[in-house]
Amino acid sequence: MQFTAKTKVLIHGIAEPLAATHSILMKAYGTQVVAGVSPGLGGSERDGIPVYDLVEVAMKEVGPIDAAVIFVKPYLVLDAALEAIAAGIRRLAIVTEGMPPMDMVKLIRKADATETLVIGPSSPGLIIPGEILLGTHPAEFYTPGSVGLISRCGTLTYEIALSLTEAGLGQSIGVSIGGDGILGSSFAQWLQILDEDDRTEVIVIVGEIGGSGEEAAAEYVAEAIDKPVIAYVAGRHVPKGRRLGHAGAIAANLSHKTEKKLKQAGKTALFDLDIGTAEHKIEAFKNAGIPVAERPSEISKLVKKALK
C-alpha cells in the first residue's frame, strides 16, 4: 500500500473553509499533516499546521512530503496539482468538485509522465482505518480489517463502510475515486493496488450510473484479479438521460430516442447504446462472475460468504 501512518501530507488550499475543518480532523486521526499552502498567508499557522505560500517553500522548511490533499477552487486545481508534482509529490487527492475537464486532461497527461497517483476530483480521498485519513471521510464509520472498499460516490462509501463495520467486517482501505466526468485514477488501478495489498482479503466495488468504468473494472477482474470481488451499482431506477448528482453520474446516451432515430435512418449503432446504465454495469459484473448486491445492506452478507 502506498499510504501508511508515516505518509507526510500537505494541505493545498488550507485556508478554504472545508480544508480548515478537515485538516483538523485529519490531524486528530493521526495523519502527519506537516504543512499547508495558501498564497499570501505564508508564515502563519492554522491549528498548529505551518502555512506557506508555495509547495517548494514548504518542502524546504519541513523536508520531503509524500502526499497532497487539494481543496482549492476548481479553476485553481490544475495549478495546485502541477505545483505539487513539480515539487516531487507523487500522491494527490483532489477533494474539489467541478474541475474544468480540459484541466483534468492536462493533469492526467502530467501524472502519467511522472507516475503520480491522482485520486479524484470530487473525491473524499481515502482512509486506511487506524493509520491515515487523507480527505473528508467520516473516520468513525471505519474500523481496521481486510475489506478493500472502492467507490465512486463518497456518501455511499461511508454508508457501506458503516454497514460493514456494524457487521463485524473491518476495512483495509476506503477510497472514492471521485464523481467528476474525468478522473485521475480508475477502478482498475485500485483493483490492482488492492490485489497486491497483503491486508486485503476481499474487494468491494461500488459503482453508479454513467461512464464505462464499471464495465472496464468487471473485465479487469475477470482477467487479472485473484481475490474475491463483490459489486453494487447505484441508480437502478434512474430514468435514462437524467443527471444524478455527480458530473459523471448520468446515463447520457438517451438510448431509446437514439435507437429509434437510427432505425428510422436504417442505421445501427457502432457501440452499445446501453453503456452507462445500471443494468449494463450489473450485467457486466455478473458476466465476469462477480456477485452483485441488490442493495447496500446485502454487501456484508456477500462479503462474509466470500471469506468462508
Question: What is the set of active-site residues?
Answer: 246
Say if residues 149 and 160 touch (Cβ distance below 8 Å).
yes
Task: Provide the terminal-to-terminal Cα distance of the chain, rounded to the nearest Å.
Answer: 25
SS3 at position 125: strand
Say if residues 123 and 93 touch (Cβ distance below 8 Å).
yes
Say if residues 65 and 10 touch (Cβ distance below 8 Å).
yes
Q: How many CB atoms lie within 10 A of CB 112?
A: 11
Long-range contacts of 193-198 (CB under 8 A, 24+ apart): 193/1, 193/2, 194/148, 194/150, 194/227, 195/224, 195/225, 195/226, 195/227, 197/1, 197/148, 197/172, 197/173
